[in-house]
Amino acid sequence: MPITEIEGRRLTVTRLDKVLYPATGTTKGEVLHYYALTAGALLAHLHDRPVSFLRYPDGPDGETFFTKNVPPGTPAWVKTVDLTRRSGKTGRQVVLQDTASLMWAANLVVELHTPQWRTDDPGVADRMVWDLDPGAPATIVDCCAVAGWLRDRLSADGLHVYAKTSGSKGLHLLAPIEPTPSDDVTAYAKGIAIEAEHELPDRVVHRMTKSLRPGKVFLDFSQNSAAKTTAAPYTVRARAEPTVSTPVTWDEIADCTDPADLHFVIGDIAERRERHGDLLGPLINLNRAKPLPGRRR
């Protein structure tokens, strides 16, 4: 098995020629190459956040399983942290702080998911998230229309809002906030989702009930819960193609008329980062964080 050295760490990488995505012929080696190229931007968004893995070792058509626990065989040099789960039990999770650790995780073939809080203050969020999920026949084009409304509404409350594709069907909107208990963030986000449904009844639903969702955008506020996670920026997704949860501009959202306009795979990201930089960089700029409405100093 090939052994490589990254940042002074010896790492075994396996089956680099294995095709993970038959639809595009994309190999595991190409996925690892993508993560190596994108490590700088990705690690900034993973910093000090516990990582959950959606593992798909045989590709998206094979077995998939979600885990928060530290995988067996994790090297001692990969940072881990003990955290109290909702059940009251303590669990240990991985925290990816450097390129070597990221490449170790990528070799497991994973989607990377994080909560909205950091390990130094569990359950206290420093960002707010909305998952805009279209119910067929609605598409990401419908999500873009809802995203524009949501951005204007949150801007009226003094919040800065940034966007990325989910890498699946929809959009994620994120706002940097001053540290706030996750329950309070969830309550505020739920209120906004209900307001959106009232203002856009033909487009938006705020409840998860499947019978309500066809043709509408489900505005999922629940990922602000301390116990929940969201796909990290720049993670590769376990979909038919190696799609990426990709930061996008508000102009791209406004101009979207076809789902293909906001469909990005691993080969698209380097050029986008060269052109735009990290569009989600303001999320980690403390000067952009604003107090949650109702909690102003």
Band (pLDDT 50/70/90 cuts) for residue 144 is very high
Give dist(CA 177, CA 120) in Å, integer: 16
Give dist(CA 131, CA 112) in Å, integer: 16
- Whether the pLDDT of residue 296 is over 60: the answer is no
Task: Give the chain's mean pLDDT.
Answer: 95
State pLDDT tens for residues 219-271.
Answer: 999 999 999 999 999 999 999 999 999 999 999 999 999 999 999 999 999 99
Question: What's the token pair of residue 152?
Answer: 């204007």
Query: What per-residue confidence (pLDDT) applies to 295?
Result: 56
Residues 211, 136, 127: CA angle, nearest 5 degrees = 85
The CA-atom distances, in angstroms, between 122 and each of 70, 81, 192 are 18, 11, 24
pTM of the full predicted structure? 0.95
